[in-house]
Structure 1
Amino acid sequence: MPCLKKVKLLLLLLFIVVFIACSQNKKNKQTCFLSEKYTHFPYRINQPSRTYVLSVELREISGLTYKGDHKLLCVNDEQGSIFEYDTQNRKITQRIKFAKKGDFEAVELVGDKAVALRSDGKLYFIEDLSHSKSESIKVKTGLGDKNDTEGLAYDVSNHTLLIACKGLAHNDSAYMDKRAIYRYSIKDSSLSQYPDILIDQGELETILNLDPYTKFSNKLLKGGNPSKGNLTFQPSALAIHPISRNIYVLGSVGKLLLVLSPQGELLAVNRLKHKIFPQPEGICFTPDGTLFISTEGKMMSGKIYQFDYKPNTKN
């Protein structure tokens, strides 16, 4: 009985902390932060210009990339398949089976081939996108389950892949409370020894003006698991803007969209409305800068949102 009372007391304390944190954050919540070097955010991120409601196969959509000709390539959490989605006709037009079931989190187009990322750090290179079934080559990157890899972006300038880790940034304790983006060389089949880009959770807490209650609840909720770390922000997808070359990093945990310079400097932080983005896990661009973000449906349908590119014409 004493143990049961302690558990109940802990749960009550946790509820109070989270409730106070949520109440505090509703007051004077800053929806967008822009650095001095970045004075204009080119999207109305909580006002999509178009919404695509997905069928049941993509309820748990976890990644997407732009193929061309109004087509998006998508993956979900459970199946080793790529789904081609036509935004003009608003339907799935092709399904390509490339592997057994697995926790696939992202897909990227590299030339006329595709690469899928699994949460344990493995990459699947898919050669043929023209048939319903395709052979794939599985490659170990050196990242693993503790890193919880979720984001993938192709950097055409140097033929490399950026891989974002939702979990452990590095075994070195100096990387505690950081979020890591590694660079993988396709040519050399090698991963950077250390993160190419680091996202500082403390910097985000300062920008978002998080109160002590929220910080404390984050520490309680992570349950002592070092791979979870600080829950202020956990990357779930990333993409490189085709015009500015800035890196857009999406976070389902934290409900944030970050903009980083190509060198990793934090330029912007955008809060995402939970009502629109219950679980955002995919992001990509068209060559003209049109932005697509996908969100899992949870108990409802998955969705893809389209955002028109609005550059600053004054500059």
Structure 2
Amino acid sequence: MKKYAIIYLSALLSVMSFSCAQSQQKKITSPKGYDLTKPTKYKMPDDLLEISGITFHQGKPDVFYAIQDEEGKLFFGNLGDTRVEHTKFGKHGDYEDLAICNNTVFVLKSNGKIYTFPLGEIKDQELTHVQELANILPAGEYESMYADEAAKKLYVLCKNCETEKTTKSSTGYIFNILPNSTVQAAGNFKIEVKQITDLIKDNKIKFRPSAMAHNPVTKEWYIVSAVNNLLVVADASFKVKAAYSLEHKTFLQPEGLAFDSKGNMYISNEGDEFSRGSVLKFNYSGAK
């Protein structure tokens, strides 16, 4: 009996040790002031199954603006509503992100083209004052854009560019936003991939950012990569400070990122044949 008791105890300890290891592996860490395990989930209507970008105007969350990556339409409405309005600005295409500066909407296409149109005209069924800004970015694939309304600057981050190895860095481009809603090159920046790999202990990743936004409270840059299942936080100079794993069961395919004026974070996720597109809201509780 004593022999069997020892065997049983040994087996029990092994199971407990395994369970503990599994629990530690599944522990999710979050940026200061946020809890990535406790979002408020807003399901999107069918039109936004493939939601690819989200933003607010002047940080006001009462109305959200979004695009999806197949139709040249701007969608807008209230989070939680079963229906949203839309206006058409372009032909079918792979549209990935959007931003608003003052009264101009900027939409980023995956090939680096940017479309601009007046925010005040979006109640029209189809927009007529649309500008296409071409040949302002190097050849490549782009999914991340942010507009600084106060500084009147536009930031675009490359996902996969021909001029660089994405195992080394991801280059971003800065533009001055001109009064006529066009842009003027004003410099660039880099996200050094080694700074990320040092944090996550994986030196083989190819960093492929899918959205970026500036936190108005902490003054940090937040960058989402759906391919890498990561949320990266960088300082004002784009030096990487932290990286957080995103659980697939919560973040089905994170393609959009925005903050409201209070620092609450919103991440949009594309849906699939089983799940609707969604926007996850993470309340900011202050740095602790």
TM-score by length of 2: 0.82
- From 43, 49, 63, the equivalent of 1:53 is 43
Structure 1 residues 1-315: aligned runs within 5 Å:
28=25, 31-32=28-29, 41-48=32-39, 50-67=40-57, 68=60, 70-87=62-79, 89-127=80-118, 128-135=121-128, 136-144=130-138, 146-168=139-161, 171=163, 177-187=168-178, 189-192=183-186, 195-196=188-189, 198-210=190-202, 215=204, 230-231=205-206, 233-299=207-273, 300-312=275-287
User: Where do 4+ consecutive residues of structure 1 move more than 3 Å?
Assistant: 25-33
Deviations 1:196-249 (A, max 9, x none): 2x22222322211227xxx3xxxxxxxxxxxxxx43x21000111122221111
Partner of 1:10: none
Percentage of pairs with the same residue:
25
How big is the shift at 1:298?
Answer: 2.3
Instruction: Return the letter of the residue paired with 1:55.
Output: P
Deviations 1:100-151 (A, max 9, x none): 111100011111221100001111111122322212111125325x421100
* Cα distance change of structure 1 residues 106 and 167 upon mapping to structure 2, 3 Å threshold: same
How big is the shift at 1:30?
Answer: 7.5
> Structure 1: which 5+ runs fail to align?
1-24, 34-39, 216-229
* Cα distance change of structure 1 residues 202 and 287 upon mapping to structure 2, 3 Å threshold: same
What SS does structure 1 have at the residue aligned with 2:197?
A: helix
Partners of 2:28 and 2:36 within 8 A in 1: no
Partners of 1:94 and 1:132 within 8 A in 2: no
What SS does structure 2 have at the residue aligned with 1:202?
A: helix
Question: Of the two, which has the highest radius of gyration?
Answer: 2
How big is the shift at 1:31?
Answer: 4.4
Using the alignment, how far apart are the partners of 1:297 and 1:180 within structure 2? Answer: 28
Partner of 1:36: none
How big is the shift at 1:69?
Answer: 5.6
TM-score by length of 1: 0.75
Instruction: Return the letter of the residue paired with 1:73.
Output: Y
Aligned Cα root-mean-square deviation (Å) = 2.5
Using the alignment, how far apart are the partners of 1:141 and 1:152 within structure 2? Answer: 16
Using the alignment, how far apart are the partners of 2:245 and 2:77 within structure 1? Answer: 27
How big is the shift at 1:26?
Answer: 10
How big is the shift at 1:160?
Answer: 0.8
* Cα distance change of structure 1 residues 263 and 99 upon mapping to structure 2, 3 Å threshold: same
Deviations 1:17-75 (A, max 9, x none): xxxxxxxx998578448xxxxxx612112320x11111221111000001336211010
Using the alignment, how far apart are the partners of 1:304 and 1:69 within structure 2? Answer: 12
What SS does structure 2 have at the residue aligned with 1:292?
A: strand
